[in-house]
Amino acid sequence: MSAVIISRKEDFAAIVSVTVLASSSAGNCALVSAGDTRILVDAGLSRKETFERMAAAGADPESVTAILISHEHTDHVAGLPVIAKKLDVPVYISRLAAPAIPWGDYIPKLELFQAGTRFPIGCIDVNSFTIPHDSVDPVGFSFHADGIKISIATDLGYLPDSVRFQLRNSDVLLLESNHDLEMLKVGPYPWSVKQRVMGRMGHLSNDVACNFVRDEVDARTSTLILGHLSEHNNHPEIVRLMATQALKGPSLFTRLVIAEAHRPTEAFIY
Ligand SMILES: [Zn+2]
Ligand SMILES: [Zn+2]
């Protein structure tokens, strides 16, 4: 029995995979793996919740080799100090964003990077790129391993050409589809918050995300994950309907996934 389990682990070590553990305005965390390298991307859930979701997704928390942070907003770092202390792994973060984290009494081993640079984490090549968002030094990422490209871009007010360029030709793309404009306009937020969300340093609407899907997602993107949905100003079925209509032509066979706040996606394995 144990021999079978060891064999399965060895098989797993040879593949590239991504699991979105949580994606919403309330908490964000994903797991990107290749070989023995396992990167926790953002840490917006509590340690307990993060570890429970990893276990549910079939991943041992102790196998995480690094934590990578996109920006310092609470929904991306709420669990970071506790998780980093517990796992005792390096935290990769932009050198400008690092001082904005409420570390408390324990500062983990920091690997500071310049936004816009490319660097290795284990056997994964990580490309960071600047995104327009109202935090200190926000970045999106693309991950390259064994010829597979996984891209993550949430928390951005619009899609500049430079970001569109970074997201093209991804095998897996996690893109923000934050709000339905009409729901946001009539929703519960104060006007100042609505303006922030809609602004060029805020969050992507369903319209902008789905226009990108229609115009620029092609057949290479076998899995499209739309995420960071607002719990108050969006509905998964609206996103699913709009994105399904946008996935036409060469991207007709792209698998569409709407990431959820309360449970992980399956592991997308390559
Ligand atoms: Zn966020
Ligand atoms: Zn943010």
Distance 155 CA to ligand 2 centre (A): 5
Please give the average per-residue pLDDT across 72-79, as a whole number.
98
Confidence (pLDDT) at 251: 76
214 φ/ψ angles, rounded to the nearest 5 degrees: -65, -40
Distance 88 CA to ligand 2 centre (A): 25
The percentage of residues in the chain with a pLDDT greater than 70, rounded to a whole number, is 95
Neighbours of 56 (CB within 10 A): 12
pLDDT digits (tens, 9 = 90+) for 10-65: 444 459 999 999 999 999 999 999 999 999 999 999 999 999 999 999 999 999 99
Q: From the CA of 72, which ligand is nearest?
A: 2
Q: For the whole model, what pTM was predicted?
A: 0.93
Among the ranges given (4-8, 84-88, 169-173), the one the predictor scored with the smallest mean pLDDT: 4-8
Q: Edge-to-edge strand order for the sheet containing 91-94?
A: 110-113, 91-94, 66-68, 37-41, 29-34, 16-22, 268-269
Distance 8 CA to ligand 1 centre (A): 35
Q: From the CA of 97, which ligand is nearest?
A: 2
Angstrom distance (rounded) from CA 268 to CA 222: 10
SS3 210: helix
Angstrom distance (rounded) from CA 244 to CA 27: 25
Distance 5 CA to ligand 1 centre (A): 37
- Domains of the chain (ranges; CATH) run 2-269 (3.60.15.10)
**DSSP 8-state secondary structure symbol assigned to residue 200:** T
Q: From the CA of 44, which ligand is nearest?
A: 1
Cα pseudo-dihedral 39, 114, 125, 157, rounded to 10: 70
Q: Has residue 2 got a pLDDT over 90?
A: no
